[in-house]
Amino acid sequence: MDIRAIEERYTSGVYPKRELVLVRGEGVYVWDEAGLRYLDATGGQGAALLGHNPPAVRMALQEQMNRLMVCPEIFYNDQRAALLRALQEVLPGNREWRIFLCNSGAEAVEAALKFARLRTGRSEIIAARRAFHGRTMGALSATWNPAYRQPFEPLVPGFRHIPFNDIAALEAAIGPQTAAVILEPVQGEGGVWPADPAFLQAARALCDRFGALLIFDEVQTGCGRTGRWFAAEHSGVVPDLLALGKGLAGGFPIGALAFPAEWGPMPVGAHGSTFGGNPMACAAARATLETIRRERLVERAERLGADFRERLRQLRSPLIREVRGLGLMVGVSLRVRATPVLRRLMARGVLALPGGPDAIRFLPPLIVEAHHLAEIAAALEEALVETSLPVPSTLEESP
């Protein structure tokens, strides 16, 4: 039985595959079927926030599995109540939040878009260029990359995109017709671009002026990734709607959308999800939040992330254009395409992600240690030495 052949034959085909069959994970490492070990700086696309098979999450899941696996939100549940309360302790701003629980980041974004339209009675949504919010029809309408969008048009009407970090463009676009502005406080899949605090502050003020809502998509930046519980805290801006996903349940599927408690509950029937708020995901998320707090992983992300970026900046490769990021969300923008470099990193036992066409994105688990980050930086240096400079464009373009 060849695992790759079976997948190649029967899967949908929508993912670019790497030549690697992963069968086991622990902490920052994963192993392939031949027993080769890899340092995982993809962190399961950011979902393995505590590393692979974190003991606390594993135990919470095992215990919950033996008690109750299924409990839709038409009933109350102890695990869900505990998670809703635990989230109050960490969500930003001095306010209480209501939370719609779901199963993925895109679903959290869908909920944000629906609730924004419901609350304002308006339909227009302003998003940013390079934004990534997911691939369902609503979230895709907020996503910018034309390659993801065009085959599926017409998308949901009422969306427009402005340049990220451009206050004047936002001011020109927003108005009394705007339901919401949706932003990632650090653009992730677009290439790790932190928002200027001034841009987010201006977005807050403009939304307030026109009665529009501010949505932060913290699916990738949330739960300590950027060295704060939420990336919003770097600017002091509190959004009206906050979307979470990825690492919230330590690798177990979950999504969440928070909105101010002072709005009161949404109308019955306005939204819903069969698996939303299920006790397994809630137990895993609560164990994750507890672990982040107990092990002081937020502070750790800030400290280790800063050291890691400094180390990357010291690499003397002519192929590095810029090192960007916040906390343990780190991007290295290159003068060459990212994919061949990712392949060379993999050959050196390091797994990383692309961020846009020409950046390498590192999302190591928050439990990573300084020596792992040093290994990653060393592997990148070697991979870049092996990668040649691009042909100057004047030569490439000459007839």
Q: Which residues are annotated as a binding site?
A: 105-106, 132, 135, 217-220, 273-274
- Does the active-site annotation cover 132? yes
Bridging pattern class, strands 193-194 and 186-187: antiparallel
In angstroms, give the least distance from the CB of 162 to ligand PLP.
17
Instruction: Give the residue with the Cβ less far from ligand PLP, 17 or 296.
Output: 17
In angstroms, give the least distance from the CB of 250 to ligand PLP.
14
3-state helix, strand, coil in the chain (%, to 5): 40, 20, 40
In angstroms, give the least distance from the CB of 80 to ligand PLP.
20
Q: Which residue in the shown chain puts its C-beta closest to ligand PLP? A: 105
**CA angle 50–56–59, rounded 5-degree value:** 135
- Does the active-site annotation cover 217? yes
Which one of the listed residues 40, 100, 217, 308 is annotated catalytic?
A: 217
Tokens for 181, please give them: 């502005």
**Beta partners for residue 367, in sequence order:** none
Which one of the listed residues 100, 115, 132, 216 is annotated catalytic?
A: 132
Which one of the listed residues 40, 246, 259, 308 is annotated catalytic?
A: 246
Annotated binding site for pyridoxal 5'-phosphate: 105-106, 132, 217-220, 274
Q: Exposed/middle/buried for 74, CB within 10 Å: 0-12, 13-18, 19+?
A: exposed
In angstroms, give the least distance from the CB of 201 to ligand PLP.
20
Helix (H, G, I), strand (E, B) or coil at 155: coil
Annotated binding site for substrate: 135, 273
Instruction: Give the residue with the Cβ less far from ligand PLP, 162 or 379.
Output: 162
The DSSP code sequence of 38-83 is EEESSTTTTT-TT-BS-HHHHHHHHHHHTT-S---TTS--HHHHHH
Instruction: Give the residue with the Cβ less far from ligand PLP, 79 or 104.
Output: 104
Run of H or E residues at 216: strand 213-217
Instruction: Give the residue with the Cβ less far from ligand PLP, 100 or 132.
Output: 132
Per-residue CA distances from 229 to 88, 120, 247, 297, 364 (Å): 12, 28, 12, 9, 16
Instruction: Give the residue with the Cβ less far from ligand PLP, 116 or 383.
Output: 116
In angstroms, give the least distance from the CB of 108 to ligand PLP.
7
The residues that touch ligand PLP, with contacts defined as CB under 6 A, are 104-106, 109, 132-134, 184, 188-189, 217, 219-220, 245-246
- Does the active-site annotation cover 2? no
Tokens for 39, please give them: 């340092």
List the catalytic residues.
132, 217, 246
